[in-house]
Structure 1
Amino acid sequence: MGRYRVFHAGFVGFVGFAALAAPLGAQEQRAWALVPTSDLSSMLDCFEAAGQTLISAHRGGPTPGLPENAIPTMDALLAAHPAIMEVDVAQSADGVHFLLHDDRLDRTTTGSGEAAAQDWAALKQLRLRDNWGWITPYAIPTLAEALVWAKGRTVLQLDFKRSADYAEVVAAVREAGMANSVILIAYSTGQARALHELAPEMLLSVSVEAPGDVAELKAAGIPENRMVAFTGTRLPRPELYAELDKADIEVIFGTLGRPPRSLDAVIDRYGMDERYAELGREGVDILATDRPREAAAALAEAGRSPQAGQCGVGRGG
């Protein structure tokens, strides 16, 4: 069974890699691009004014044969749909930042143990597993590699793991020329303050459960035009979205999460993909989802998907 898993995954991975790499010119011609023409906040304002809803692909939108937090996975999704990519940033024992969600290596790689306890020389030898357990041909990408890939292609949402160094990540973003194409994720006012002090020019995803949370963030020195409000994953709240809209703060709502209770899982189970478009109409500007392909298709069918030629959206060919 182990050999079959490796062979099957290698075959799936090879087919996926061939689809991405062999006709690379054709791939690049048809791929979507989300590139701010001026300021990322202005780009998000443009989408809102046009009645469009963006997809944020949780962990890059993994699918069978393509693992989470991997560049080929994000590349494949962007070939099909315009999307922001949410990724997780960790740091090795010798100071290399890389993309990985779990503290341990066991679930998503061929390795084991604490990821942050290992040097990059060991980590880069591992291969990623997809979310169904198959071993793929893909290695863990560095943050630097992901930033190079994303430049001129899309916006990255960066979720900091405990081992990540804020200052070094911010420096890497600036070095890559991506300061205007990232959203830094903060889960507390203190974290938001620290990130804003390091990167005042970058947008922050901040947790907002009530209008008073915005006042608290402003008191911490974070201006409204640097905020994107993450409003949870459980219950849509159009009345809160309306208040945030008055303050010109874009709304993120997450349908992601562990099945069977996540909204993504419920929507899938009952065949209600149209709910993604309904959330957009209720005031959600960015949908953070584990089903980016299905959500994007539902938005397109409802006329709420970003269109090439407006708001910094492009598509080659």
Structure 2
Amino acid sequence: MAGEGHIRDEAEAAELRRLGLAVIETEAQAVAALAPRIDEAFVRACRHMLACRGRIVVLGMGKSGHIGGKIAATLASTGTPAFFVHPGEASHGDLGMITPQDVVLALSNSGETDEIVTILPLIKRLGVPLIALTGNPRSTLARAADVHIDVSVEREACPLGLAPTASTTATLAMGDALAVALLEARGFTAEDFARAHPGGRLGRRLLLRIDDVMHTGDGVPRVGTDALLREALVEMTAKGLGMTAVVDPDGRVAGVFTDGDLRRSLDRGVDVHRTPIAEVMTREARTVRPGLLAAEALHLMETHKINGLLVVDEDGRLLGALNMHDLLRAGVL
């Protein structure tokens, strides 16, 4: 009996994997079929959107509405101002959100969605360009559009052929194609993207500067060139950065002493109470100037296999210090 249950479990698992794979294959084919449709209509749609002096207003009902919301968000985050309007609400006042400077992007697999068809005359009266993504080039929406992009699919991934699956995937992929084409055409950069995502990890990596995370003032570990190794160890312990700067009487960095230098010194049997720090410090200290991106500081540390950096002014005077832990706390790592 136990053996029969195991066989049933294995057969069920195999069937579930088969069904899942069939969905992936169907949707992959639907997306691949879009390639020939990156045609002149696609180019015209991009040109309308590039020329838009207002915003791209995305419309869609049901599952197309969910896809429309994502497309609007992708456009907005990649340099093309956009927002989503629910077609059902549009006929009850929200149509006022569309201005003559906008472009409307309407999504409907059938091209006959009642809520969209109802407001087509009002959209046309505004005189705004209408771009339609439908699965039916002969539909009311497709015929009313200034530009129609065909996102039809051979079949849905749903075995009943009812639930929008491959069709919504194809529409989403075409929306991404439009957004990325516009991104490239606008010369949108990674820093532009970060400005739109200041709270995200990418935003922190691309916008955060070392000035925002470095230790300054009394928080910077430093000893003079005439200090003993013992004094340097006390300073390193107090400041907790795993290093201390060694500065001359004018505050210029003469060297750095790190945990690694300490290990090498102890291996050599140096006397921590009598050895001058100048004899065991690293003279070629790795320094950077203020304003450096935190991500660039991280790259320097990784490239040179060091855990900290000293920040100096144009004359080499010590301004601050930071280490890997500071970048980790700031979310740069």
Flag the structure with higher helix content.
2
TM-score (norm 1): 0.26
Higher RCO structure (Cα 8 Å, ≥6 apart): 1
State the TM-score, normalizing by the size of structure 2: 0.25
